[in-house]
Amino acid sequence: MGALSVAISVFFVLRLVRVDAGSGKMKEIATYIKEGSDAFLKEEAKIMVVATAFLAALIFFAVGWQNAVSFLAGSLSSALAGYVGLEVSLRANVRTATMALKGGIKPAFSTAYQGGKVMGFFVVGIGLLGIGALYAAFQDPLDMVGYMFGASLMSLLLRVGGGIYTKGADIGSDLVGKVEAGIPEDDPRNPGVIADNVGDNVGDCVGMGADLFETYAVTLITAMLLGYLVKGGTAFEAIPLYVAGGSVIAMLVGSFFVVPSGSRVMNAFYKGLTASALLALVIDYFLVGHFAGLYFAILIGTLVLMAMYAFAEYFTSYEFRPVRRVAERSQTGAALNIITGMANGLKSTVFPVIAVATAVLAVFILNGGLTSSIGNGVYAIAISAVAMMSLVGMVISIDTFGPITDNAGGIAEMAGLPSSVRENVTDVLDSVGNTTKATTKAYAIASAALASLSLFAGFELELPKSMLSQLLVYNPLVLVGMFIGGVVPFAFTALLMDGVGVAAFGIVNEIRRQFKIKGIAEGEVKPDYAACVDITTRVALRELALPALIAAGTPVVVGFVLGPLGLSGYMFGAIVTGFPLAIWMTTGGGAWDNAKKYVESGVYGGKNSEAHKAAVIGDTVGDATKDTAGPAVNPFIKVMVTVSVLFAPIIVLVHLL
Amino acid sequence: MGALSVAISVFFVLRLVRVDAGSGKMKEIATYIKEGSDAFLKEEAKIMVVATAFLAALIFFAVGWQNAVSFLAGSLSSALAGYVGLEVSLRANVRTATMALKGGIKPAFSTAYQGGKVMGFFVVGIGLLGIGALYAAFQDPLDMVGYMFGASLMSLLLRVGGGIYTKGADIGSDLVGKVEAGIPEDDPRNPGVIADNVGDNVGDCVGMGADLFETYAVTLITAMLLGYLVKGGTAFEAIPLYVAGGSVIAMLVGSFFVVPSGSRVMNAFYKGLTASALLALVIDYFLVGHFAGLYFAILIGTLVLMAMYAFAEYFTSYEFRPVRRVAERSQTGAALNIITGMANGLKSTVFPVIAVATAVLAVFILNGGLTSSIGNGVYAIAISAVAMMSLVGMVISIDTFGPITDNAGGIAEMAGLPSSVRENVTDVLDSVGNTTKATTKAYAIASAALASLSLFAGFELELPKSMLSQLLVYNPLVLVGMFIGGVVPFAFTALLMDGVGVAAFGIVNEIRRQFKIKGIAEGEVKPDYAACVDITTRVALRELALPALIAAGTPVVVGFVLGPLGLSGYMFGAIVTGFPLAIWMTTGGGAWDNAKKYVESGVYGGKNSEAHKAAVIGDTVGDATKDTAGPAVNPFIKVMVTVSVLFAPIIVLVHLL
């Protein structure tokens, strides 16, 4: 199934590259973007090679060679997923722009979606192949914990680095270009324009690709691990792979249902997703229908997936009240836009958390009841998460669509295509992109919560029995661990927001400096794009270290000081605060973005009105929350939990308190 | 000691009212403010009488008459603390303004601080008297749980109602007055000016008075309760009262050390606080020195108090880097001001949480070790919290100083006093007020975390033994409870932010309407102040219901559905997320406010520069987070925990899962 999925992916690549890549000017711009991306990724790769080599050696000596191999495989696959995402997107961008010019909305849509499909099937394929190969080689899920750690750490690095890069460049360029100099977004006179477009690629495409790959891999391996630890039968270890494999077929069929018709582009995606989900449920019935409890878990996982889409669309699409209220308040200036948007984001956390909590409760009740022991229930939770993640290919296709159309719009602007291309085609598609981005992130973090919960149980199962009965919420070590764990996501998101601030501030000063040079603002002298690319590259890589260290290092420190009990509390505290924090930041940000788009659609004075200026400020704040800080929480939590599971055996032996 | 404290308070009142209350014009304005405050409080009181009567009846039938009486006593005392705060502040405002005019900074400082002392000693006195009387009557701390619930519920209502009122009025008036019409703050031509000043009183004074009273009462009774439940000796029930009583003497002496000298007004407060703390430690040594563990707990509690002051000052004073960075970024517009400010606030959560966690760990280690049983350790934690809260009188004196000087500035402006009064005296004192406000809130929430932890242990002790051993973090009910509890503070703060948005939006529209009437903007026609007062009153009272219902209702619902295990998880989840959320909002807000003040001091172009406009937007956002949403988290958590303890016996008997 993994091979099939990769094959499908290759097929779509071949179809994609046959599409016309456009004029010389467009190709030139695409080349600039590619060069900038490559430069950044090369620098990033250097750091990663060092970090990965160091950690692989550490794992080799502390845990064993199997996990060291798994770790390297996981890191590599995650990086590959990100890199392919980038390459596909770079090719799809320019072709989508060309199609938007030549054929209008329908061919542009199908080209962009083509790109998304390549990515979706590739991520699923590489995941299934890697996990399948390791399982065939080691026959023991405990040896595959390293794969999870590698995948999530790589994804974290790509998310954080790319996230700071993309939003630093984006915000910096907009603040001087759009707001101060009054030139349009993506105008070639803006010295930050290439950095901005590079950012879209290294942030949205690479980051999201690695992130969803990691979530997919962690979810699958966690379920296999629990199949081994809890159920103790190879049949149960294999079920996650069957379910994931079945969904490849389901998604292949489902993807034919994605046909835009009528005015709501979003509906096309819903049709495809629903078709895939229903077909997957049918296939799963034949695979695991004889375990009624597990089948219900799959059903519940699928329902959570749908619920996340529905709620995220409600809170981020301007067809509904929350975004409209943010837009309405913008009439009184930026302050009430921000206050209302913050309230909106905070409010949006309630439904996902309640949905996940209810799902957990229901799965437990249907799988052995609400006993305190770690047993059938947690395995079923893991299977729920697998059901949810097995459709990730579809989710990725829908999601990648967003940055591709966004970038296509950028290329259209920079290449001087007629403004109708942007207004009638790419902007329309892009506003859908804002919603799909938010839905994907809600989906990713919700499934991450389920997967982390199960993985957490995997950690507990590595502890001696006598310790398990001490994992009481009122145990001082658990208490203290939980407090500390609870605050860590705050610290982590703070560092990311701060990184964006630093990068953007640097870009602003650089662009202001260049605009003082005669001719640049007038478009007569070519700006020094590379200077801006350098700044964001430097800042992004510098600001990468501390968040990564917190993610991978603190669990080890907490484990050695507070022991396994403290570490358990720590992990749980981080999940409890990280989940709503991530939802708040991503959904809130999506709402700010679309509130601006709503004003641009002509209400409250439309573009360039006071309301619009206020909405732009909210949108900018949302950029940092939704594209940098919020989505990084997902790999962040996963790194913390996987590193804990990996080092659990040593921590059990050696700890201070 | 309670009577002594009240007597001290009355003494300072008498000294305060002897101070000259100023000219006819100033008295007239003070009268307007008083009328508006009274009107709001009258409406609020109606709702509270109904709610209190209903709950008292419920407690009477469900729990017993003793707790019903305690509940009424607690509600009444809390309301009284708030009301006295208001009355004192109303009298101190105008006198401070007069002294600022007549004598400059020193007499103005001492008048404002005089008002603060009245409030501080009154809160402590009324708390000690009420708790002492109930203890004398019932001889059983379990009968005093109602007092805690009453005090915290009343404080929650006053905080939420007052918070939405004050910031709705403040933001609304500023947005049209200062930003659009370009007239100064507190200008009498602004139709919202009276509502704004009323808000300062009903929000900052009433809210903070009731809030700190509630924290004081809950901390003391919790310690007494654990003395009873854990230690089972009347000596241990009485220790909290001794410690609190000893601190009354310490504060009386310490207050003489508050003498402004040199340029840093803040230093005067530090001297007074340090003197009180040291003296209290000496007194406590004679009281409980023979219990070494407990004495260390007191020492640690005092250190936490000092640490909270230090960290909050670092993050909110413009003498340090965090605030300066926010100000620096404002040069690029509001977006980076908000992003940097958010990052700043998120970052500021780390230190308080780590400090509290370390303190908890240390207290446990020094009092019976890190066992999983609920024993000496939690009692010692409660005593730590008592030590921290016993100095609340000092903290209140310092805190009340802020709104008094703020309001004095308002009166100076409205009464047309020379601008030097504002610039050289009240503004200088007020900027210190921003920092003291943030320090008080950090102190309140940190001590609330300690008190809630202990109270949580009190809840566990009401459960049957068999259930205690099931309170495992991986128990499904605990897990689910924790997830739900973790998201509730997000929902709660969202509603409060939203309430501010609604109120401010209403005020903006009303002021815009009035400014269209000829003569109002020119100062020839007296604006309709009452219309704005009406809007904020209506919105604040309407938006009060849902947050209060969530606080008091959800624990009961969760308890009945998920049972005591789920409810335990729920409480703990709420503490884990509520604590950092509150710190983030209050400290972040204080930093935004002082970043604006820093720009106003002349850097980055000073007043009316682009940087200043950006900083004003950040400040406005911070208003909603630091004066409405953030501080309300403290009583919110307390209401949830006390209602759980109160209804624990019934929940143990009746629950669904």
Could you give phi then psi for residue B50, rounded to 5 degrees?
A: -65, -50
Q: How confident is the model at residue B244 (pLDDT cuts 50, 70, 90)?
A: very high
CA distances from A346 to A353, A367, B152 (A): 12, 33, 24
What crossing angle do the helices spanning A376-390 and A427-461 adopt, rounded to 10°?
A: 160
Of the residues B502, B507, B577, the best mutation for testing chain A's interface (the one with the most A CB atoms within 10 Å of its CB) is B577
CA distances from A489 to A168, A214, A544 (A): 21, 19, 15
Contacts for B76 with CB less than 8 Å, ≥ 6 apart? B150
Closest C-alpha among A45, A588, A579 to residue A360? A579
Kindly tell me if the per-residue pLDDT of B22 is higher than 80. no
How many Cβ contacts (< 8 angstroms) between chains A and B?
263
Contacts for B95 with CB less than 8 Å, ≥ 6 apart? B16, B19, B20, B21, B22, B111, B115
Query: Percent of chain B beyond pLDDT 90?
Result: 49
Tokens representing B645 are 């303890």
Q: What is the mean pLDDT of residues B351-372?
A: 91
Dist. CA A330–CA A611, nearest whole Å: 5
Task: Say if residues A495 and A160 touch (Cβ distance below 8 Å).
Answer: no
Closest C-alpha among B476, B271, B18, B514 to residue A457? B476
Contacts for A278 with CB less than 8 Å, ≥ 6 apart? none
Task: Say if residues A489 and A633 touch (Cβ distance below 8 Å).
Answer: yes
Kindly tell me if the per-residue pLDDT of B263 is higher than 70. no
Closest C-alpha among A295, A145, A343 to residue A225? A145
| B268: DSSP letter | H
Q: How confident is the model at residue B262 (pLDDT cuts 50, 70, 90)?
A: low
Q: What is the pLDDT of residue A422?
A: 80
Task: Tell me which residue in A453, A505, A657 faces B336 most closely, judged by beta carbons.
Answer: A505
Task: Tell me which residue in A472, A494, A620 faces B472 most closely, judged by beta carbons.
Answer: A472
ipTM here: 0.93
Dist. CA A147–CA A59, nearest whole Å: 11
The residue type at A398:
I
Q: What is the mean pLDDT of residues B543-555?
A: 92
Q: What is the pLDDT of residue A152?
A: 94
Query: Percent of chain A beyond pLDDT 90?
Result: 49
Q: What is the mean pLDDT of residues A555-580?
A: 94
Dist. CA B572–CA B556, nearest whole Å: 15
Q: What is the mean pLDDT of residues A77-81?
A: 90
Dist. CA A117–CA A12, nearest whole Å: 7
Task: Say if residues B314 and B397 touch (Cβ distance below 8 Å).
Answer: no
Task: Say if residues A6 and A125 touch (Cβ distance below 8 Å).
Answer: yes
The residue type at B369:
G
CA distance B88 to chain A (A): 32
What crossing angle do the helices spanning A476-516 and B334-347 adopt, rounded to 10°?
A: 160
Task: Say if residues A413 and A187 touch (Cβ distance below 8 Å).
Answer: yes
Q: What is the mean pLDDT of residues A470-476?
A: 89
Q: What is the pLDDT of residue B654?
A: 85
What pLDDT digit, counting tens, does each position of B49-86 carry? 999 999 999 999 988 899 999 999 999 999 988 888 88
Which residue on chain A is closest to B328 by alpha carbon?
A: A505
Q: What is the mean pLDDT of residues A192-220?
A: 87
What pLDDT digit, counting tens, does each position of B153-202 carry? 999 999 999 999 999 999 998 888 877 777 877 788 888 888 888 888 78
Asked whether the beta carbons of residue A334 and residue B617 sit closer than 8 angstroms, the reply is yes
Q: How confident is the model at residue B483 (pLDDT cuts 50, 70, 90)?
A: very high
Dist. CA B258–CA B106, nearest whole Å: 12
Greatest mean pLDDT among A259-273, A523-537, B197-211 lies in A523-537
What pLDDT digit, counting tens, does each position of B488-509 carry? 999 999 999 999 999 999 999 9
- The larger pLDDT score, comparing residue A89 to residue A650, is at A650
Closest C-alpha among B231, B39, B62, B38 to residue B149? B62
Tokens representing B567 are 């409810």
| A417: DSSP letter | -
- E strand or H helix at A134, and its extent? helix A105-138
Q: What is the mean pLDDT of residues A455-474?
A: 87
Q: What is the pLDDT of residue A263?
A: 64
Task: Tell me which residue in B335, B344, B577 faces A171 most closely, judged by beta carbons.
Answer: B335
Compute the mean pLDDT over every residue in chain A, rounded to the nearest whole number.
89
Q: What is the mean pLDDT of residues A130-139?
A: 92
Closest C-alpha among A75, A64, A576, A618 to residue A343? A618
Q: Which range, of A90-94, A452-456, A590-594, B504-508, averages the lowest pLDDT?
A: A90-94
| B449 contacts in chain A (CB < 8 Å) | 483
Sign of the CA dihedral B330, B335, B337, B339? negative
Task: Tell me which residue in A474, A476, A508 faces B361 most closely, judged by beta carbons.
Answer: A476
Query: Percent of chain A beyond pLDDT 70?
Result: 99
Asked whether the beta carbons of residue B350 and residue A490 sit closer than 8 angstroms, the reply is yes
The residue type at A504:
A
Q: What is the pLDDT of residue B328?
A: 94
Q: What is the pLDDT of residue A642?
A: 92
Kindly tell me if the per-residue pLDDT of B340 is higher than 70. yes
Task: Say if residues B572 and A482 touch (Cβ distance below 8 Å).
Answer: yes
Q: What is the pLDDT of residue A625?
A: 94
Compute the mean pLDDT over every residue in chain B, rounded to the nearest whole number.
89
What pLDDT digit, counting tens, does each position of B83-142 carry? 888 888 888 888 888 888 888 888 888 888 888 888 888 999 999 999 999 999 998 989
Tokens representing B641 are 């925990």
Asked whether the beta carbons of residue B357 and residue A484 sit closer than 8 angstroms, the reply is yes
**Burial, B110: exposed, middle or buried (Cβ in 10 Å; 0-12, 13-18, 19+)?**
middle
What pLDDT digit, counting tens, does each position of B213-237 carry? 999 999 999 999 999 988 877 888 8
Of the residues A473, A488, A596, A644, the best mutation for testing chain B's interface (the one with the most B CB atoms within 10 Å of its CB) is A473
DSSP B497-542: HHHHHHHHHHHHHHHHHHHHSTTTTTTSS---HHHHHHHHHHHHHH
Question: Burial letters for B337-375: b for 16+ Cβ neighbours within 10 Å, e otherwise?
Answer: bbbbbbbbbbbbbbbbbbbbbbbbbbbbebbbebebebb
Asked whether the beta carbons of residue B494 and residue A346 sit closer than 8 angstroms, the reply is yes
Tokens representing A497 are 């927001």
Asked whether the beta carbons of residue A343 and residue B495 sit closer than 8 angstroms, the reply is yes
Of the residues B160, B337, B365, B370, the best mutation for testing chain A's interface (the one with the most A CB atoms within 10 Å of its CB) is B370
Closest C-alpha among B200, B31, B195, B204 to residue B537? B195
Dist. CA A575–CA A657, nearest whole Å: 23
| Half-sphere exposure of residue A287: CA atoms within 13 angstroms, side-chain side | 24
Dist. CA A311–CA A352, nearest whole Å: 8
| Half-sphere exposure of residue A469: CA atoms within 13 angstroms, side-chain side | 6
Q: What is the mean pLDDT of residues A318-344?
A: 93
Q: What is the pLDDT of residue A226?
A: 92
Dist. CA A152–CA A137, nearest whole Å: 22
Q: What is the pLDDT of residue B615?
A: 93
Dist. CA B437–CA A282, nearest whole Å: 60
CA distance A174 to chain B (A): 11
CA distance B452 to chain A (A): 12
